[in-house]
Structure 1
Amino acid sequence: MKDEAAAGEPAPDRPVRRTALWGAGVWILGVTALLVALPLTARDRLPEQVATHWSGSRPDGSMPLTAAALFPAVVWLLVAAGLATALRFRPGPARGAAAPVLAATGVLLSGAQASVVRANLDRARWQDAAPMGIEVLLIALAAGLAGVLAWLATRPAADGPARPGAPVLELRAGERLVWLSRASNHWMQVVAALMGLLTAAGLLLAAAGRTESVDWASVVLFGLGALALLLCSSVRVRVGDDGLHVGFGPFGLPARHLAPEDIASARVGRLNARQAGGWGFRVFRGGTSVFLRSGECLVVRTRRGTDFVISVDDAERGAALLNALVERAGAPTG
């Protein structure tokens, strides 16, 4: 069977780069604030000299409290500056490593800072700091997991080369085409990142032994809100022989699939937030929508008479391919 190149082009790089910059900026500033604030907010319960290094399970090195607050933040900012320099002068190799390195390093330093505060909490001298044990392994595992998740969330889509074509596609017997696109709302992602940082701050305070400062109801609400916003802030769309596949969030999960037999027709619509009922994932009387930006949308009419609206780039070509696949499956378009 003959395989053709992709019938559609991925979303332009510019919005993706803008989103990545916003997300990286929020993450860098948030982690910096957490690293400095964790020890300083517990100043009244920490010795003037705090243990910062352990040999086995015994502390064997210390720093003044202010230095212990600033040192990891400086290391963190140097890592961020190094990545920014690499992206400026060697963007190709650095682009794939930037998000995993930032995620893993931020989690590693934040976890270590929380452990240092917890070990020194309510101790008269740094020599009396609590021993380090299983938390070291847990921090390392969390940092590795954060790096892997960041890599999965930011890896490029497996797009084929772009194929120029007319808005109305005619499929030859045995011909296989695929159209891929994506869209994102960087403001929703920034808000999700801020809510996620507030959640992380609460968890780090608890890890540092400051449970009396943690409002668990707020932590849970901010965490759930961050997750919901993150899942609704981006979308990946693929049209192929199996029909329409829409993945939500940075990992493409959860997802919705419509086979050609489930689709009556597809078209292009131009909508704004008021017409779509708001931003993100919306349910309205005539169906559902994933609305991330005003303008061109892919509107899919299902055989049940409901509409599925997705704000995504190059929607005209996606609609044309969907209608061709519906025709080939024996379901009339219109």
Structure 2
Amino acid sequence: MWVAGPSAVLVALPWVASGRLPDRLATHWSGDSGGPDGSMPLWAAAVLPALVWVALALLALGLVRPRGSAAAHATLAAGAVFLVGAQAGVVRANLDRTDWHRAGSVNLAVAVTATVAAAVAGLAARAATRNGSTPAARPAGGAPGMEIPAGETLVWLSRTANPWLLALAALTGAGALAAALAAVAGLVAPPWALMAPLAFASLAVLACSSVRVRVSDRGLEVAFGPLGLPVRRWRAEDIESAYAEHRTPAQVGGWGYRLGGKGTTVMLRAGECLVVHPRRGADFAVSVGDAERGAALLNSLAARAR
């Protein structure tokens, strides 16, 4: 999907605007004068960037990924953003020109695209690093408590993701991106009434599509989304008790971050949930696997901290 999606966008951008483009598109600009000094027919200007992207993506998946997931994610994210942004800049520069020699400048578009691509690469690498970390070995024992040997530190980690929420976030994000690209290419006026709600919905759903829970000497940490942001934290001494409970979306009012009579529930899949009863405030529950072991460790750490 990641290879095919940007490829489709790269090919579609020139063809969608073909009625307002010259027969040949300016595709190269002089470094000295800043004016266009190279061109391609429309079909080549549409297909060539897509082929470059496919080659880059396959190279990243085949060579970079085995050596490090973070590098692969950064390469794929930056490459897609840069090529799609550059293609939008080329289309905009040629828009409503009768001849490719009269094409406008792409300097600003390239500079902005390169900056955004670098930022996206950093975020993608950070997300891959955080989500790809190896969990610590789980200690033996069961709920409601476990014995922690003197001088030892135990850590419990669990992570859950909902593929349907991830798909919804990708769909709404793609809609916002398509509207933004159409505006950048000059095809339409910036449709803020469409872009803003779609972008907000994509970010909100993405933040609730996955969760990573950590129990350690510091207490409980619940990180949301692929970047692990935002984060909710409870100190060990502020937790009264923890336990595992089976919950369903129907019981808590739906999927995602839910508020109701049972307190706050992060519902990503029906089944076992880690439920925390803090000394102050409402109960908090999150649907993660191995919740009984997490609750047992959290109870022991809370008792020791108090």
TM (normalized to structure 1)? 0.85
State how far apart, in whole Å, the 2-side matches of 1:160 and 1:102 are.
26
**3-state SS of 1:299 partner:** strand
Find the aligned partners of 2:66 and 2:139 in 1 and give their Cα distance.
Answer: 26
RMSD (CA atoms) = 1.8
Residue in 1 that maps onto 2:77: 103
1:36 equivalent to 2:11? Answer yes
User: Shift of residue 327 of structure 1?
Assistant: 1.3
Looking at structure 2, the residues matched to 73 and 230 of structure 1 have their Cα atoms a distance apart, in angstroms, of 27
Offset of 1:39 from its aligned partner? 1.1
Q: Can you list the C-alpha shifts for 1:158-214, whole angstroms capped at 9, x where unaligned?
A: 5454144111411244432221221111221122112111111111111112234x5
Judged with a 3 Å threshold, the aligned counterparts in structure 2 of structure 1 residues 46 and 305 are, in CA distance, closer, same or farther, namely closer
Looking at structure 2, the residues matched to 67 and 266 of structure 1 have their Cα atoms a distance apart, in angstroms, of: 62
- Distance apart, 1:139 and its partner CA: 1.3
CA distance in 2, matches of 1:270, 1:102: 39
- The amino acid across from 2:26 in the alignment is A
Q: Quick one: distance in 2 between partners of 1:156 and 1:221?
A: 28
1:246 and 2:222 matched: yes
Code of the aligned partner of 1:206 = A
**Further displaced range: 314-323 or 176-185:** 176-185
Aligned residue runs from structure 1 range 167-182, under 5 A: 167=142, 168-182=145-159
- 8 Å Cα contact 2:10-2:49 kept in structure 1: yes
What SS does structure 2 have at the residue aligned with 1:247? strand
- After the TM superposition, which parts of structure 1 deviate over 6 Å for at least 4 consecutive aligned residues? none
Partner of residue 67, structure 2: 93
Q: How does 1:251-266 map to 2 (within 5 A)?
A: 251-266=227-242
- Name the amino acid aligned to 1:48: D
Q: Which residue of 1 aligns with 2:54?
A: 77
1:156, distance to aligned residue in structure 2 (A): 4.2
Instruction: Find out whether 1:149 has 2:137 as its counterpart.
Output: no
In structure 1, which of residues 113, 120, 132 is the aligned counterpart of residue 87 of structure 2?
113
Query: Matches of 1:232 and 1:160 in 2, distance apart?
Result: 21
SS in 2 for 1:33: helix
CA deviations on 1:91-144 (whole Å, 9 max, x unpaired) are 531533221111000001001001000110111100110123232221111111
Partner SS, residue 155 of structure 1? helix
Alignment pair present for 1:211 and 2:193 = no
Task: Name the residue aligned to 2:177.
Answer: 200
Aligned length: 301
Question: CA offset at residue 309 of structure 1?
Answer: 0.8
CA 1:122–1:271: 2 relative to 1, 3 Å: same
Q: Which has the higher contact order (CA 8 A, sep 6+)?
A: 1
CA distance in 1, matches of 2:199, 2:86: 22
Gaps spanning 5+ residues in structure 1: where? 1-24
Q: What's the counterpart of residue 139 of structure 1?
A: 113
The answer to whether the 8 A contact 2:162-2:269 is kept is: yes
Which amino acid in 2 is paired with 1:177?
L
Instruction: Please report how far the alpha carbon of residue 284 of structure 1 lies from its aligned counterpart in structure 2 after TM superposition.
Output: 0.8
2:162 equivalent in structure 1 = 185
2:264 alignment counterpart: 288
Rounded to whole Å, the distance in 2 between the matches of 1:325 and 1:170 is: 10
What is the match of residue 36 of structure 2? 59
The answer on 1:318 being equivalent to 2:294 is: yes
Structure 2 residue matching 1:122: 3-state secondary structure: coil
Note if 1:49 corresponds to 2:24. Answer: yes
Q: C-alpha distance in 2, partners of 1:47/1:211?
A: 18
What is the DSSP-based 3-state SS (H/G/I as helix, E as strand, rest coil) of the residue aligned with 1:169?
A: coil
Distance in structure 2 (CA, Å) of the matches to 1:287 and 1:215: 38
SS at match of 2:178: helix
Deviation at 1:246, TM superposition (A): 0.7
Distance 1:245 1:161 in 2: 15
Q: In 2 relative to 1, CA 197–28 (structure 1 residues): closer, same or farther, beyond 3 Å?
A: farther
Amino acid across the alignment from 1:64: P
SS in 2 for 1:67: helix
TM-score (norm 2): 0.92
Q: Which runs of 5+ in 2 are unaligned?
A: none
Please report how far the alpha carbon of residue 53 of structure 1 lies from its aligned counterpart in structure 2 after TM superposition: 0.7
CA contact (8 A) 2:70 2:129 kept: yes
Q: Give the alignment of 1:123-134 within 5 angstroms.
A: 123-134=97-108
